[in-house]
Chain A
Amino acid sequence: MHEDTEQDRIAISLESVVKKYGDHTVINDVSLSVREGEVIAIIGPSGAGKSTLLRCINLLEVPDRGRITVEGNHVDAGTQISHKDLVRLRRNVGMVFQSFNLFPHMTVLRNISLPQERVLGRSRQEADARSMKLLERVGLADKAQQYPSRCSGGQQQRIAIARALALDPRVMLFDEPTSALDPEVGLEVLAVMRELAAEGMTMVVVTHEMQFARDVSDRVVVMAEGAILEEGDPADVFTAPAMDRTRKFLRAVLER
């Protein structure tokens, strides 16, 4: 892994990424690049490999082939990836999961402060101050001393977003962030994401929220069977998809 100064306008690049589970190929030779400040929505039927692709970006899944570059830091599949490389790459990437994954044995404040202390070496006061600022921003400052179990799903997801943002990532990954939530509750999470997008955060969002994909994203990527079917401006993809498979998928989700 080395710093790459020529590509500083590209935040994320995936080159010919292949991921297999045994004989089953989940990601089949996918390339994708994301510019700084761009918001990408990845849509497609379940089993298309959307989440796996997203998880390859921060190496929660280690690809079998290809190269991942995030903010100039490369990792090549097939080579020995050192812990240092992993940490350096992940330093720039925040991730939000479908199931929130807050730490249930810590208060909301500790959830956000502890990673800052451990990963960035911030002092307790510094970390707490930053945590409170982020909690205010997502509208949950009053929950600081509560345990996550006392918060609704939508609140937990907003806390999870705050926890990721506290580490000052340059890129945010969202893995179906509203899929575990009631539609109404999902809206408060989407509102936070819209705000983040408006502030220029680079975002890759795997989602079934077509409205969000259409309104907020700069580019929609349609995946099926481990490959990218098509990608483009949301207006084009939603109104005039190039592929039959995309049309079939969109009809299925939009006409529900």
Chain B
Amino acid sequence: MEHLSVVAQGVSMTLLLTLSSLLFGAIGGIPLVLARRSRLALVRFTARALIELLRGIPPLAWLFIIYFGVGTGVIELSSFAAAVIGFGLVSSAYMAEIYRGGLTAIHDGQWEASDALGLSHAATLVTIIGPQVLRVSIPAAATFAIGLLKDSSVASVIGVQDTIYWASHESTVTGDAIVPFLWAAGLYVAMTIPCAWATRLLDAKLRKRVAR
């Protein structure tokens, strides 16, 4: 038990990093998906290339590029800031693809009714299409968020003091190579299960209200 109190110090950082990156991605995904569906071929192509690039390079490589590359050569970045930017950018690409899937689930009639009523394109996106896309995106976004929570452990490599960082620290200090990591594993499970459970509940609730 003496390991647990040390390892658990990292839980709040794991949650903070995950939520910050997710928020970054949830917002960053919006311009990306809009660009992905632009009428201009060049904008579409650029957005698509960016998405593939962000998704195709491992998060650890992004963290190194941002922390050691940008973080030392261009502007001073804390390891936490670098991790949020790195995971946030990657999340933006994934969220853009999740939104794109959500958009295809929206019936054409919603756009047509908005056009026929004379709503502007912006008003249609903000008031009619956007909220519906966000709702249908919840299950996929939750699955992604759970993956992100686990992947965020990679940030310990650049010195973010998250759950796995403290497990590794404890392991070095005490010489116990197994138990601290088992505690870390238990803590990750304890974080992901309520997350999955809460999204299922939220999804069911929203579905019930707006079922078609």
Binding site for B on A (CB under 8 A): 58, 60, 83, 87, 90-91, 93-95, 97, 99-105, 114-115, 118-119, 147, 149, 160, 163-164, 167
Number of chain B interface residues as a range: 20 to 34
Which one of A103, A114, A163 has the greatest number of beta carbons of chain B within 10 Å? A103
Contact A103 B112 (CB under 8 A): no
When each residue 83-120 of chain B gets 1 if its CB lies under 8 Å from chain A and 0 otherwise, what string results? Answer: 00000000000000000000000010110110111111
Say whether B178 faces chain A, with CB atoms less than 8 Å apart: no
On chain A, the residues within 8 Å of B120 by CB distance are: 83, 87, 118
A-B contact pairs, 19 of them (CB 8 A): A60-B116, A83-B120, A93-B116, A97-B109, A97-B112, A97-B116, A99-B107, A101-B113, A104-B132, A104-B210, A105-B132, A105-B210, A114-B127, A118-B123, A119-B117, A149-B211, A163-B117, A164-B117, A167-B118
Cα separation A147 to B211 with both chains bound (whole Å): 9
The secondary-structure label for the interface of chain B is helix
Question: Chain B contacts of A167 at CB under 8 A?
Answer: 117-118
Q: Determine the chain B residues whose CB is within 8 A of the CB of A97 once the complex forms.
A: 109, 112-113, 116
Q: A104-B132, A104-B210 are in contact. Are A90 and B110 (CB under 8 A)?
A: no
Q: Are A58 and B116 in contact (CB under 8 A)?
A: yes
Contacts of B211 in A (CB 8 A): 149
Q: Which of A93, A103, A147 contacts B128 (CB 8 A)?
A: A103
Q: B147 in the interface, Cβ–Cβ < 8 Å?
A: no
Which residue on chain B has the smallest CB distance to residue A166? B117
Contacts A60-B112, A97-B113, A101-B112 given; does A118 touch B119 at CB 8 Å = yes
Other than the given A101-B107, A167-B117, 20 more pairs (CB < 8 A) read A87-B120, A90-B115, A97-B116, A101-B110, A101-B113, A102-B113, A103-B128, A103-B132, A104-B132, A104-B210, A105-B131, A114-B127, A115-B118, A115-B119, A118-B120, A119-B117, A119-B119, A147-B209, A149-B212, A167-B118
Smallest CB–CB gap between A81 and chain B, Å?
13
From residue B168, how far is it (CB to closest CB) to chain A in Å? 46
Whether the pair B135, A105 counts as a contact (CB closer than 8 A) is yes
- What is the bound-complex CA distance between A103 and B113, given in angstroms? 9
